[in-house]
Amino acid sequence: MSPKRWVRGGNTTSLDILLWKKVCDTIGVVIATDGETQYILPITSFGCREKQMVKIDGSTFCEAEYIPVFLREVLSGKTSLELINYEELDPESLVFEGSVAEDATNPHVLYSAKNGKLLLKGYRLYRRDNPEVLFLRYLSHYNVAPRLVASYSAGGVPLGILVEYIEGGIDPGAPLYSSAKETLAAQSITGLDWNILKSIGKAVSIFHNAMLECMEEWCKPSYIDTQDISVWRARMKHYLNEIAGVIPSTWLEILNLSLQKYSKRFETFLDTYKIRIHQDLHFSQMIYKPTGKIYIVDFEGEPGRPPEYNTVLEPALRDIASIARGASYISFYAVKDYYGLSLEDTVKVFQERERPAKQLNEWAQEVLEKIVEEYLRTLSKRLTPTTSPAEALELVFPWMVERALYEAYYEKKYRIQNVAVAISTLLSIINGK
């Protein structure tokens, strides 16, 4: 069993405690490590469900976010945590409604307030460079992300945020998954909601145009140069070297050749702008409302990215590549579930480019084309070397290779059986070119 990506309730027994500090009479903050990654965890001795319990030095505590008193104490300034309020809010007016997204890697808790529902999101990775607060604060006037209400940290390390809860929204990946299965059944592309795809393209364009105008130190755009290209290629080689021992030699040979071939397209980006991008922009990082509105969420960046690359600026099209890879994952699991296959047999379907893989590769290409077409309508010309959707898709592809290599690198750490998901879906596309 691969380790969990984030420490959560019931998963702390193997950690070494580095620091345990009380921040008020009823709440403490623990910093711990598994030998490779550092985590930060607010705890309390109040009672909670077993799933939210943690054992530390032989004693049982609860993840503090799930206890209503925690947020009230933080917002009232009764803890030693560093609090920033972005809106006026009466802590006593908040009504605890319960946890949501319990299988997520970070805790999420829903509250009712006088002006609507709010979502408390806690962090577990010990990251001083977690950029989510910076993004949400900066994007507050662009109506493309949830409203930031408050944030709090411990010793300068982000510990959590309170944001607007988007009611009535859905993960746009859900209807896309249904469309993929319908396509398999109908033997032709069907069930796509063009409004969703156009809304995604429009929202990502608004986001990228906004980041192009950011003049703050953490996000100030600059021109792409040859050093950037060298860094991108080096990162791809690093990912490939890290997964070389867990993939077949034939896959490794194709990936090496593809890296050399497609990374040449990076040179087309020279003298266009690089910006602070989302990094991890797939369909589950979006919320779609039936009115046609898309909200972008979860601005922490790629969770498995090597730290030296966490804060770098990159081309806007890199985010489009992440969306494209999201469609590849949907394709894989649609085939697996529709035909009732094992993971290994589904890998073979994509590796050998059997009919279902070809069908859903075409489906995924259609999804990407519609998104990119709408995306380019309003995207600043300073962010892409071309305004042609067909040419833009060609420039997205090297970033799809880079993103897939990252995915495999990440999966090797946490879900090694899924390395083959990342690579087989990529090879299915490469071998079809």
Among residues 198, 204, 67, the alpha carbon closest in space to that of 122 is found at 67
pLDDT score at 46: 83
Domains of the chain with bracketed CATH: 16-164 (no CATH), 172-431 (3.90.1200.10)
Taking the C-alpha atoms of residue 426 and residue 55, their distance in angstroms, rounded to an integer, is 41
Q: What local confidence, expressed as pLDDT, does residue 3 receive? A: 40
C-alpha 31 chain-centroid distance: 24
Tokens of 181: 């299965």
pLDDT at 33: 86
**Residue 265 dihedral angles phi and psi, to the nearest 5°:** -70, -15
- 226-247: string of b/e by CB count within 10 Å (b at 16+)? eebbeebbebbeebbebbeebb
Q: What is the pLDDT of residue 103?
A: 75
Could you tell me how far CA 77 lies from the centroid of its own chain? Answer: 31
Dist. CA 300–CA 280, nearest whole Å: 8
- pLDDT means per 10 residues, the chain with 433 residues, are 48 74 93 86 85 77 92 96 95 93 86 94 95 98 97 97 96 98 96 97 98 98 98 98 98 97 97 97 96 96 94 98 98 98 98 97 98 98 96 98 98 94 98 87
pTM of the model: 0.95
Q: What's the CA gap between 108 and 145, in Å, rounded?
A: 17
Q: What is the pLDDT of residue 60?
A: 82
DSSP codes of every residue in 362-401:
HHHHHHHHHHHHHHHHHS-GGG-S---HHHHHHHHHHHHH
pLDDT at 230: 97
Which pLDDT score is estimated for 86?
96
State the sign of the Cα–Cα–Cα–Cα dihedral 322, 325, 329, 335. positive
Burial class (CB in 10 A: 0-12, 13-18, 19+), 254: middle
Tokens standing for residue 163: 């944001």
CA–CA separation, 139 vs 146, rounded Å? Answer: 9
